[in-house]
């Protein structure tokens, strides 16, 4: 058998925020992210017993989520900005240490305008707090490529923020 039910439920509860958040920020759509996250966990259920330890499980979940989310994004072949309102209305973020919701929403909007490889690199770096070499290992890319995506992604975000978020400057 694959995973036992209790063990599987435990893994969902431990990792659902990580999986769902990556899926959401890569696809930019709440419904698609839910679907991707469910599929990722079902894949884990079917073959999870081959995962050796917690770190391996986390690595596997992140990689499969990025791949599935990218596939979903390409299948839809639409720009993820479409569901901006849906996202900001439905997200469930803990209130502690929150930014101004308008700034947060605007940054999420800007993130969705980044090209796919840059967006993935920025999400893994800033949401998952992964180092460039960890991201490179996860994505199977050279570290230099990941660093370049990160640098260019952040540069684009800063530039766009400077132009479109003037109203938030104090």
Chain contacts with another protein (rule: CB under 8 A)? 1-3, 5, 8-9, 12-13, 16-18, 20-21, 24-25, 30, 33-34, 37-38, 41-42, 45-50, 90-94, 97-99, 103-104, 107-108, 111, 122-123, 126-127, 129, 154, 157-158, 161-163, 165-166, 168-169
Q: Which is nearer to another protein, 35 or 77 (CB)?
A: 35
Q: How far is the CB of 139 from another protein (least distance, A)?
A: 18
CB of 132 to another protein, least distance (A): 14
Output 77 or 151, the one with its CB closest to another protein: 151
Q: How far apart are CA 170 and CA 168, in angstroms?
A: 6
CA 45 – CA 43 distance, rounded (Å): 5
* 8 A C-beta contact, residue 117 and residue 140: no
Contact by Cβ (8 Å): 34, 20: yes
CA angle, residues 84, 25, 30, in degrees to nearest 5: 55
In the complex, the smallest distance separating the C-beta of residue 112 from another protein, rounded to whole angstroms, is 12
């Amino acid at each position: 058998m694959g995973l036992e039910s209790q063990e599987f439920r435990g893994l969902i509860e431990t990792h659902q925020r990580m999986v769902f958040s990556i899926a959401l920020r890569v696809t930019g759509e709440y419904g698609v992210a839910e679907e991707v996250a469910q599929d990722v966990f079902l894949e884990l259920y079917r073959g999870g017993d081959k995962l050796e330890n917690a770190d391996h499980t986390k690595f596997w979940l992140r990689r499969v989520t990025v791949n599935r989310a990218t596939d979903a994004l390409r299948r839809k072949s639409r720009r993820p900005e479409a569901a901006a309102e849906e996202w900001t209305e439905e997200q469930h973020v803990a209130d502690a240490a929150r930014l101004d919701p308008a700034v947060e929403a605007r940054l999420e909007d800007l993130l969705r305008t980044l090209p796919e490889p840059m967006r993935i690199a920025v999400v893994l770096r800033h949401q998952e707090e992964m180092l460039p070499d960890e991201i490179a290992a996860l994505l199977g890319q050279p570290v230099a490529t990941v660093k370049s995506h990160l640098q260019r992604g952040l540069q684009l975000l800063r530039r766009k923020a400077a132009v479109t978020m003037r109203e938030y400057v104090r």
